[in-house]
Chain A
Amino acid sequence: MTWRWDYTWDVLPDLLAAFFKYTLGVTLAAGVIAVLLGLVLALGRRSDNKIVSRTTFGIIEFVRSTPIPVQLFFVYFGGPAVGVSLSPLVTGISVLGIHYACYMAEVYRAGIDAIPQGQWEACTALSLSPQRTWRAVVLPQVIRRIVPSAGNQIIALFKETPFLIVVGVGEMVYVAQQFGSTTFRFIEPVTIAGLIFLAASYPTSVLMRKLEARLAQ
Chain B
Amino acid sequence: MLDELRDAAPLLVDGAWTSLYYTACGAVAALVISFIFGLMSMSPSVWVRGTVRVVVEFFRGTSLVVQLLWIYYVLPELGIRFEPLAAATIALGLNFGAYGAEVVRGAVTSVPKAQWEATVALGFSKAHRMRRIILPQAIPEMVPPFGNLLIQMFKSSSLLFLIAVSELTFQVKELRVELGSIQAFSIALVVYFVLAQVLIMGMRYWEKRSAAKVGRGPKPVDVTMGEAMAVPTQ
Interface residues in chain A, defined as those with a beta carbon under 8 Å from any beta carbon in chain B = 1, 62, 64-71, 73-74, 77-78, 80-82, 102-103, 106-107, 148-149, 152-153, 156, 159-163, 165-166, 173, 176-177, 180, 185-187, 190-191, 193-195, 197-198, 201-202, 205, 209, 212-213, 216
In the bound complex, residues from chain A placing their C-beta under 8 Å from that of B64 are 159
Say yes or no: B66 contacts A152, CB within 8 Å.
no
Report A-chain residues with C-beta under 8 Å of the C-beta of B61.
159, 197-198, 201-202, 205
Q: Which of A80, A198, A201 has the most CB of B within 10 A?
A: A198
The complex places the Cα of A116 from the Cα of B181 at a distance, in Å, of: 48
Shortest beta-carbon distance from A142 to chain B in Å: 16
Q: Is the CB of A65 within 8 A of B169?
A: no
Please tell me if B4 contacts chain A, counting CB pairs below 8 Å. Answer: no
Query: In angstroms, how far is the closest chain A Cβ from the Cβ of B8?
Result: 16
Nearest 3 A-B pairs (CB), nearest first? Answer: A162-B65, A65-B196, A67-B158
- The answer to whether A66 and B181 have CB atoms under 8 Å apart is no
Once A152-B231, A201-B61 are accepted as A-B contacts, the answer to whether A77 and B185 lie under 8 Å apart by CB is: yes
* B109 interface contact, C-beta 8 A: no
Interchain nearest-CB distance for A68 vs B (Å): 7
Q: How far is the CB of A87 from chain B (nearest CB, A)?
A: 16
**Chain A proximity mask over B152-184: 1 for CB below 8 Å, otherwise 0:** 000111110110000001001100100011100
For residue A216, which residues in chain B have a CB less than 8 angstroms away from its CB? Answer: 234
Tell me the bound Cα distance from A165 to B162 in angstroms. 10
Q: How many angstroms from the CA of A90 to the CA of B6 in the assembled complex?
A: 34
Is chain A's interface secondary structure helix, strand, loop, or mixed overall? helix
The A-contacting residues of B in range 57-76, CB under 8 angstroms, are: 57-58, 60-67, 69-70, 73-74
Structural contact, B69 and A160, CB atoms closer than 8 A = no
Q: What mask results when residues 180 to 197 of chain B are scored 1 for a CB within 8 Å of chain A, else 0?
A: 111001101100110011
Which of B35-43, B111-119, B131-139, B220-228 participates in binding chain A?
A: B220-228
CB distance from B221 to the nearest CB of A (A): 13
Which of A103, A106, A149, A190 neighbours the largest number of chain B CB atoms within 10 Å of its CB? A190
Across the interface, do B66 and A194 meet the contact criterion of CB distance under 8 Å?
yes
Q: Give CA–CA (A143, B139) in the complex, Å.
A: 33
Query: Do residues B193 and A65 form an inter-chain contact, with CB atoms below 8 A?
Result: yes
**B169 contacts A69, CB within 8 Å?**
yes
Q: A106 near B151 (CB under 8 angstroms)?
A: no
CB distance from A42 to the nearest CB of B (A): 13
Q: Closest B-chain residue to A23, C-beta based?
A: B63
CA distance A80 to B180 in the complex (A): 11
Total residue contacts A-B, CB cutoff 8 A: 152
From A71, A163, A190, B189 is in contact (CB under 8 Å) with: A71
Closest chain A residue to B160 by CB distance?
A: A69
In the assembled complex, how far is the CB of residue B102 from the closest CB belonging to chain A, in whole angstroms? 11
Do B74 and A187 touch (CB < 8 A)? yes
Interface positions of B from 17 to 72, Cβ below 8 Å from A: 57-58, 60-67, 69-70
Q: B202 interface residue, CB < 8 Å from A?
A: no
Q: Is there contact, CB below 8 Å, between A190 and B73?
A: yes
Q: Name the A residues within 8 Å of B159 (CB-CB).
A: 67, 69, 163, 166
* B11 proximity list for chain A (CB < 8 A): none
25 A-B pairs in the complex with CB atoms less than 8 angstroms apart: A64-B224, A65-B151, A65-B196, A65-B197, A66-B196, A73-B181, A74-B182, A74-B189, A77-B176, A78-B185, A152-B230, A152-B232, A153-B229, A156-B226, A161-B63, A176-B69, A186-B69, A186-B74, A187-B74, A190-B66, A194-B62, A194-B67, A198-B61, A213-B234, A216-B234
B78 close to chain A: CB less than 8 A: yes
Kindly list chain A residues whose C-beta atoms are within 8 Å of the C-beta of B176.
77
Query: Cβ of B79: which chain A residues have Cβ within 8 Å of it?
Result: 1
A86–chain B nearest beta-carbon distance, Å: 13
Alpha-carbon distance A187/B74, docked complex (angstroms): 5
User: Given contacts A65-B196, A190-B73, A194-B63, are A70 and B189 in contact (CB under 8 A)?
Assistant: yes
